[in-house]
A and B are shown apart, each in its own frame.
Chain A
Amino acid sequence: MTTTTQLAARASGPATASRRRARRGDLLVRYAFVLPAAVYMVAFFGYPILKNVVMSFQAYDFATFFNGKAPFIGLTNYTATFSDPIFLRALGNTALFTVGSIIGQFVLGMALALYFRKQFPLSGFLRSLLLLPWLLPMIVSAAVWRWILEQDNGVLNRFLEGVGLISEPIPWLVSSDTALLAVIIVNIWLGIPFNVVLLYSGLQSIPDELYEAGQLDGATGWKSFRHITLPMLRPVVSVVLLLGVIYTIKVLDLIIGLTGGGPANATQTLATRSYEMSFIEFDFGQGAALSNILILIALAFAIVYLRANARAAKNG
């Protein structure tokens, strides 16, 4: 910030009119740097959020697109949402989907991160290959997994039958008993790279001397993980878990691509239900009410995340 202070010091001399003007001009130029981004953020985040709040109190439906009328109806959209059995189903599914995905991603991601902490030839190269599932468009992953999980010809059932684990093909995506589990498995696969990358960088910042000292005290293997790695990694872990939750509760592409929320709403989440309300049933008011509930949940975790992140930065 030396630039600013120096300029400020120079400007605090005898305040002539031209200098004041120059200073004001300078300030305007500085604001001009931020202006396009600020305008964009207002138009593409501020306005949509505000619009969603307003719409959630309106009867904003198919007719609105013809007559332009969207009368205010108070809390009707919210009461309709809360009394909708599909909403409760979607809420429960969102919780299961999020918790299941996070646990799977984290445990497997941690295992891989720990494994790749060992120094061996090609470890950096292999670790970078691991990023690929995360970089692919989600809808591509959905398409590929649909083919893998296909009941009769999918490679997963062929493999499981081949090794004798199952005798009948499992209808992964078309049975309401297994669809949510299948969607969670795919989402775990998608989330592993992200967990590995962050946990691995966290592991890199633990000084080796700690492990050396631990070894002298007899802390190896599980003990050193429990008493050295986990406590040192705690700030990173909380950031990874919270970001995971925030990203997972809004996942939509994957579920729409895999099951479309079905069968019989077995994989319906708040995000997919909100999409369905607005763009399939054209009830934008209720769709907005649903997505506002989603925003509130995301924001609650976001606030916890920002605090954890600030703490991590302070301790880091």
Chain B
Amino acid sequence: MTPMSTATTAGPAAIPTPRSRRTGRSWIHTVIGIVLIAIMLFPVYWMLNASLAPAGNSLSTQWLPLNPDFSGYSRAIADQGQNLITSLIVAIGACVLSVAIAAPCAYALAQFKIKGTAVLLFVVLISQMIPGIVIANALYTVYTPLGLINSIPGLILADASQGIPFAILIMRAYLETFETSIVEAARVDGCGHVRAFWSIVLPVSKNSLITAGIFSFLFAWSDFLMALTLTTGESIRPVTLGLYTYIGTNDTDWSAVMSTAVLSSLPAVILMIVAQKYVAAGATGGAVK
């Protein structure tokens, strides 16, 4: 696959049309585009809207939150605040662990020709396709004797099982095209592999590191299966699992449920806004490379 460009630089229409007519037409396209996206994003709007509805009044969520009521949020924070913090710790932990393990491996896979790298690369590719239930099934039986059930380290390690293969593939794709001459120059000057990696390779590949980190964070933040299978009580409970138990027990109070859903969506929304470039890079690169 050719490197995929996300830039919008396709050429103009083949047959030249008067400028004014073309601009007029393209604004119509914009309007239709906005309508299409609005339909696609309606559930996201509805989540936000329902989160601002007054509690107990689930009979008729209004189409517009004209009288926003924030009591859903106060209940959500009271009930799920601790779970949000647990999720944050687990996601940051999994993100750091994923990048720390994946970065040197990706560099080695891309730049060192050592035995076994082809096998490892194949394993990494295939591992992305292994159903999570397989991992959860086996981990539960060893986590129990190891005391890792209901533990933050246990969840971090399990959640990194999505981040690590993805991060290796993303960073390797970048490092394959990495200009080796600066590393060579440093090596000739007597710089060791570790130092060259730390002070040259890592700073230069900052963008791919950030992309890998963002996705590792999001994978862990979104994890539900590991939380569902590897925790049993309320002490350590990520917010995804909190939301799930909320749906079961809180069926009538949708404003608190939807407030929790909004709070659980915040990382994705924030990253969409502040790190758009990296999110787009990860979305295209991760699947195909």
User: Do A and B bind?
Assistant: yes
Which A residues are within 8 Å of any B CB, using their own CB? 1-4, 6-7, 26-27, 29-34, 36-38, 40-41, 44-49, 51-52, 55, 60, 65, 112, 115-124, 126, 128-148, 153, 155, 189, 192-194, 197-198, 201-202, 204-205, 208, 211-212, 215, 235-236, 239, 243, 246, 249-250, 252-253, 256-257, 271, 274-275, 278-279, 284, 287-288, 291-292, 294-295, 298-299, 301-302, 305-306, 309, 312-313, 316
Chain B positions 194 through 222: 1 when the CB is less than 8 Å from some CB of chain A, otherwise 0: 10010000000000000000000010011
Are B137 and A126 in touch, CB under 8 angstroms?
A: no
List, sorted by A's number, 15 A–B pairs whose CB atoms are closer than 8 Å.
A31-B114, A40-B160, A45-B130, A51-B142, A55-B138, A65-B144, A120-B29, A123-B30, A130-B40, A139-B241, A147-B254, A202-B4, A205-B2, A298-B131, A301-B129
Bound Cα distance A292, B130 (Å): 10
With A129-B41, A201-B6, A204-B5 as known contacts, state yes or no: A48 contacts B61, CB within 8 Å.
Answer: no
B44 within 8 Å of A by Cβ?
A: yes
Interface centre among A123, A137, A284 (most CB of B within 10 A): A137
Are A198 and B288 in touch, CB under 8 angstroms?
A: yes
Are B135 and A198 in touch, CB under 8 angstroms?
A: no
Bound Cα distance A309, B2 (Å): 11
Are A33 and B104 in touch, CB under 8 angstroms?
A: yes
B205 to chain A, nearest CB (A): 14
| Residue in chain A with minimal CB distance to B11 | A208
Are B10 and A208 in touch, CB under 8 angstroms?
A: yes
Are A118 and B26 in touch, CB under 8 angstroms?
A: yes
Are B194 and A155 in touch, CB under 8 angstroms?
A: no
B 80-113 contacts with A by CB, 8 A: 100-102, 104-105, 107-109, 111-113
Chain A residues whose CB sits within 8 angstroms of the CB of B144 once the complex forms: 65
Chain B residues whose CB sits within 8 angstroms of the CB of A134 once the complex forms: 283
Bound Cα distance A271, B287 (Å): 22
Chain B residues whose CB sits within 8 angstroms of the CB of A6 once the complex forms: 184
Are A137 and B240 in touch, CB under 8 angstroms?
A: yes
Are A132 and B269 in touch, CB under 8 angstroms?
A: yes
Are B258 and A143 in touch, CB under 8 angstroms?
A: yes
Are B105 and A137 in touch, CB under 8 angstroms?
A: no
Are A215 and B40 in touch, CB under 8 angstroms?
A: no
B64 to chain A, nearest CB (A): 13
B70 within 8 Å of A by Cβ?
A: no
| Residue in chain B with minimal CB distance to A298 | B129
Are B164 and A139 in touch, CB under 8 angstroms?
A: no
Chain B residues whose CB sits within 8 angstroms of the CB of A130 once the complex forms: 37, 40-41
Q: Which of A120, A139, A243 contacts B224 (CB 8 A)?
A: A139
A224 to chain B, nearest CB (A): 11
With A130-B40, A133-B43 as known contacts, state yes or no: A52 contacts B137, CB within 8 Å.
Answer: yes
B 238-276 contacts with A by CB, 8 A: 240-241, 243-244, 246-247, 254, 257-258, 260-261, 264-265, 268-269, 271-272, 276
| Residue in chain A with minimal CB distance to B161 | A44
Are B127 and A48 in touch, CB under 8 angstroms?
A: no
A241 to chain B, nearest CB (A): 12
Are A147 and B257 in touch, CB under 8 angstroms?
A: yes
Are A44 and B14 in touch, CB under 8 angstroms?
A: no
Bound Cα distance A41, B27 (Å): 51
A8 to chain B, nearest CB (A): 10
Interface centre among B47, B61, B180 (most CB of A within 10 A): B47
Are A291 and B134 in touch, CB under 8 angstroms?
A: yes
Chain B positions 21 through 50: 1 when the CB is less than 8 Å from some CB of chain A, otherwise 0: 000001101101110110011011011001
B235 within 8 Å of A by Cβ?
A: no
With A130-B40, A145-B43 as known contacts, state yes or no: A204 contacts B10, CB within 8 Å.
Answer: yes
Chain B residues whose CB sits within 8 angstroms of the CB of A204 once the complex forms: 4-5, 10
Say what secondary structure dominates the interface of chain B.
Answer: helix
B: interface residue count bin: 35 or more
Q: Given contacts A33-B108, A205-B4, A212-B14, list 6 more A-B pairs with CB under 8 A.
A: A2-B181, A4-B113, A34-B108, A44-B161, A140-B243, A302-B129
Which B residues are within 8 Å of any A CB, using their own CB? 1-2, 4-6, 8, 10-12, 14-15, 26-27, 29-30, 32-34, 36-37, 40-41, 43-44, 46-47, 50, 58-61, 100-102, 104-105, 107-109, 111-114, 116-117, 120, 123-127, 129-142, 144, 157-158, 160-161, 164-165, 168, 180-181, 183-184, 187, 192-194, 197, 218, 221-225, 228-229, 240-241, 243-244, 246-247, 254, 257-258, 260-261, 264-265, 268-269, 271-272, 276, 279-280, 283-284, 287-288
Are B26 and A128 in touch, CB under 8 angstroms?
A: no
A202 to chain B, nearest CB (A): 8
Bound Cα distance A270, B116 (Å): 34
Q: Which of B43, B107, B124, B224 contacts A138 (CB 8 A)?
A: B224
Are B287 and A243 in touch, CB under 8 angstroms?
A: yes
Are A122 and B268 in touch, CB under 8 angstroms?
A: no
| Residue in chain B with minimal CB distance to A65 | B144
Are A48 and B193 in touch, CB under 8 angstroms?
A: no
Bound Cα distance A124, B168 (Å): 28
Are A121 and B130 in touch, CB under 8 angstroms?
A: no
A118 to chain B, nearest CB (A): 5
With A3-B187, A49-B130 as known contacts, state yes or no: A33 contacts B37, CB within 8 Å.
Answer: no
Q: Which of A118, A192, A250 contacts B29 (CB 8 A)?
A: A118
